């Protein structure tokens, strides 16, 4: 594993947001949802997430997730993803969302 400096880590802007909408993304090459995330003072942002195996659209609504907000936009087909919703692979290579252990204000920065 390559070591980075503390300064490099501080440049990564990881914020918490609440999923307010989840929709199917049939155009994606791998099964995914289109997510709309409320990041408080940073606004409403869109993301694509390959989390269809462990989560339904309905259960995602209202969940807080950790998002990398300063990677820039990424085009996925005709869809523009504005933030990266983070997660971990489980033993079956399915993505488990990274989430705060307790509710925090939308837009809160990971410290």
Residue 80, strand partner residues: 75
Residue-wise pLDDT tens digits, 53-78: 999 999 999 999 999 999 999 999 88
- Whether residue 111 is contained in a domain is answered as no
Residue-wise pLDDT tens digits, 9-27: 889 999 999 999 999 999 9
Distance CA 97, CA 79 (A): 21
- Whether residue 40 is contained in a domain is answered as yes
Percentage of the chain surpassing pLDDT 70? Answer: 100
Q: How confident is the model over 30-40, as a mean pLDDT?
A: 96
- Whether residue 104 is contained in a domain is answered as no
CATH of the domain at 26: 2.40.50.140
- Domain range for 55: 6-97
- Whether residue 102 is contained in a domain is answered as no
Q: What letter does residue 14 receive in the DSSP assignment?
A: E
Residue-wise pLDDT tens digits, 67-109: 999 999 999 988 999 999 999 999 999 999 999 999 999 999 9
The torsion of the CA quartet 52, 78, 107, 41, rounded to 10 degrees, works out to -150
Using DSSP, state whether 108 is helix, strand or coil: coil
Using DSSP, state whether 44 is helix, strand or coil: strand
Number of domains in the chain: 1
């Amino acid at each position: 594993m390559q070591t980075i400096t503390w300064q490099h880590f501080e440049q990564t802007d990881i914020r918490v947001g609440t999923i307010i909408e989840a929709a199917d993304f049939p155009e994606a090459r791998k099964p995914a949802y289109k997510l709309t995330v409320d990041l408080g003072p940073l606004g409403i942002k869109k993301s694509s997430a390959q989390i269809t195996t462990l989560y339904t659209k309905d259960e995602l609504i209202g969940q807080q997730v950790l998002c990398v907000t300063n990677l820039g936009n990424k085009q996925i087909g005709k869809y523009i993803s504005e933030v990266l919703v983070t997660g971990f692979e489980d033993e079956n290579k399915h993505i488990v969302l990274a989430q705060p252990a307790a509710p925090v204000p939308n837009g809160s920065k990971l410290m």
